[in-house]
């Protein structure tokens, strides 16, 4: 199967499996998604979603975050881990947005990555989910599944994965494709024990085919 056909098959199959897939972080305003994503670094979305209702009630605007007391903010986000670094960057990025962008979250990767604590993964998420632009959110699920499916060749570098997927995934599918990968990575293609036998992508998956060959060799050796 040529790459174009393989990519089309994967996109269509994932869309059928997860028609409603979207970012699992809860938010109402663009800056809330930015902050929630910052909190999600080395933390689960589930944990972040337990923290943000009270957080966004206490700090109900960018101005509130920009003027937040550091120690008080730390108490709200403590359970997300690395809370001091996250609190510092949340306050700083809020001040940057107010000062440099007139209170509006930037809409480009170049400008978003100028904000304190914001890398390309978060910048892509904002561009895709908030502004509807083509975006590749190269998180752990995206990187793992892209490698296993053979869309990326043995790279765990987020920038490399992002660049490659931008080349082969049509613009209009990119953001949804990444959300689909997250859902599939949680439900089927887990990190330690992927359920290849029930995965509907196993016919085009490099990892699954290699695993099957290994199982067949072991079976042959026992005979």
pLDDT at position 216 is 61
Do residues 86 and 41 both lie within one domain? Answer: yes
pLDDT of residue 220: 53
Residue ranges in the chain modelled with pLDDT below 50 = none
Is residue 25 one of the residues assigned to a domain? Answer: no
Residue 116 lies in a domain: yes
Same domain, 8 and 61: no
* Cβ contacts of 22 within 8 Å, gap of 6 or more: 129, 179
Domain containing residue 177:
3-19+137-222
- Under DSSP, the state recorded for 126 is I
CA-derived radius of gyration, the chain: 20
Same domain for 64 and 36, yes or no, is: yes
CA nearest neighbour of 194 among 203, 185, 181: 185
Among residues 94, 109, 130, which one ends one of the domains?
130
Per residue in 83-96, pLDDT (tens digit) is: 999 999 999 999 99
Which CATH number characterizes residue 96's domain?
1.10.340.30
79 and 115 belong to one structural domain: yes
Q: What is the pLDDT of residue 1?
A: 80
15: region left, alpha or beta (phi > 0 left; psi from -120 to 50 alpha): alpha
- Given 130, 150, 166, the domain boundary residue is 130
203 in any annotated domain: yes
| Per-residue b or e along 44-56, where b marks 16 or more CB atoms closer than 10 Å to that residue's CB | ebeebbebbeebb
Domain boundary among 130, 163, 189: 130
pLDDT for 189 equals: 98
Query: How many domains does the chain contain in total?
Result: 2
- pLDDT of 221: 55
Same domain, 179 and 212: yes
Helix, strand, coil share (%) of the chain residues, nearest 5: 65, 0, 35
Q: What's CA 92's distance to the chain center, in Å?
A: 23
* CATH number of the domain enclosing 217: 1.10.1670.10
User: Does residue 96 sit within a domain?
Assistant: yes
**126 and 148 share one domain:** no
What CA–CA distances, in Å, run from 159 to 89, 105, 127, 181, 196?
Answer: 22, 22, 16, 17, 27
Question: Are residues 9 and 71 both part of a single domain?
Answer: no
The candidate with the shortest Cα–Cα distance to 33, out of 142, 99, 100, 115, is: 115
Q: What is the pLDDT of residue 165?
A: 98
Q: Tell me the per-residue pLDDT of 117-144, one tens digit each, with 9 for 90 and over.
A: 999 999 999 999 999 999 999 999 999 9
Give CA–CA dist 89/68, Å, rounded. 12
pLDDT at site 212? 73
């Amino acid at each position: 199967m040529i790459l174009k056909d393989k990519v089309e098959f994967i996109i269509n199959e994932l869309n059928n499996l997860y028609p409603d897939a979207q970012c699992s972080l809860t938010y109402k305003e663009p800056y809330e998604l930015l902050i929630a994503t910052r909190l999600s670094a080395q933390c689960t979305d589930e944990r972040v979603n337990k923290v943000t209702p009270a957080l966004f009630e206490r700090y109900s605007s960018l101005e509130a975050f920009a003027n937040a007391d550091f120690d008080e903010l730390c108490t709200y986000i403590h359970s997300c881990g690395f809370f001091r670094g996250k609190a510092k960057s949340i306050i700083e990025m809020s001040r940057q947005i107010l000062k440099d962008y007139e209170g509006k979250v930037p809409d480009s990767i170049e400008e978003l990555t100028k904000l304190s604590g914001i890398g390309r993964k978060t910048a892509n998420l904002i561009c895709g989910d908030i502004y509807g632009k083509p975006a590749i959110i190269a998180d752990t699920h995206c990187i793992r599944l892209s490698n296993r499916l053979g869309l990326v060749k043995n790279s765990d570098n987020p920038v490399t994965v992002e660049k490659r997927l931008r080349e082969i995934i049509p613009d209009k599918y990119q953001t949804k494709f990444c959300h689909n990968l997250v859902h599939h990575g949680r439900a089927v293609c887990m990190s330690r024990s992927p359920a290849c036998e029930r995965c509907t992508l196993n016919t085009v998956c490099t990892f699954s085919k290699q695993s099957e060959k290994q199982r067949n060799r072991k079976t042959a050796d026992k005979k």
